[in-house]
Structure 1
Amino acid sequence: MIGIKVKYLRGKKGYSLNELAELAGVSKSYLSYIERGIQKNPSLQILERLADTLDTTVEDLLDKEKDLSNLDEEWILLIKEAIENGITKDDFAYYLSFMKFKNSQKEELE
């Protein structure tokens, strides 16, 4: 789950993989391994560099309370089904934006 958090925070900061690797002093390939879950246990030194660069803490990167493992089984099955049917992250973001818009329109009518 560390990789997912690093990738999310990197995107939130607007860094490319190369930019974050350079700023944190980590090789691009090693960072890629972390984000893809190939390297699941990076050293504390690497985590500290990434956390500092991403304006967070090592504790936050390691905090299991904030990961997706607490999703109930129904959500997990829905996500798996969506992926199996070819829904991309961009598609999901579009649907989410649409639902926010739809809900805001509904609230205006009430």
Structure 2
Amino acid sequence: MNIMIGRNIHEIRKIKGLTLSELAERAKISKSYLSNIERNLNQNPSIHIIIKIAVVLNVDLKALIVTDINVETQQYLDSEWIDFINELKESGVEKEHFHEYKTLIEFINWKNQNSNEKKY
């Protein structure tokens, strides 16, 4: 199992528009240490360091700890989400109004949880 933490950090950092120096400074780790992680020279960074990086990148910890085994599954899930987003767009949902739909989804989840609890 090849853990790709370094590659994931690098890709997400680029997507977020951060330089190596910016991420290192915000995460309060040395630039050289971060560089070694990204280049997989340090393949076993502590969970404390990974959490600090995830917080700065504003991503779930899982986004940084994807393995080769999970890559195919992740790509499949990503395509499902893309299909879902396209369906939303086709039905007239605009990105600017998604927060309203999120509130509705949260209510439905709450209602489902409460109805399941009453059954027991």
The alignment of Structure 1 onto Structure 2 pairs a total of residues equal to 68
TM-score normalised by the chain length of structure 1:
0.58
Which runs of 5 or more structure 2 residues have no equivalent in the other structure? 76-120
In structure 1, the partner of 2:71 is 66
Name the counterpart of 1:108: none
Matched, 1:23 2:29: no
% identity of equivalent residues? 41
Cα RMSD, aligned residues only? 1.6
Instruction: Report deviation, 1:27.
Output: 0.5
Write the mapping of 1:2-13 to structure 2, written as runs, cut at 5 A.
2-13=5-16
Greater relative CO (CA pairs within 8 A, separation 6+): 2
Deviation, 1:66, is: 3.2
The AA in structure 2 aligned to 1:50 is: I
Which structure has the larger Rg over C-alpha atoms? Answer: 2
Q: Taking structure 2 as the reference length, what is the TM-score of the superposition?
A: 0.53
- Pick from 40, 44, 48 the counterpart of residue 41 of structure 1: 44
The residue type paired with residue 61 of structure 1 is: L
Unaligned runs of 5+ in 1: 71-110
Deviation at 1:61, TM superposition (A): 1.1
Mapping 1:73-92, distance limit 5 Å: none
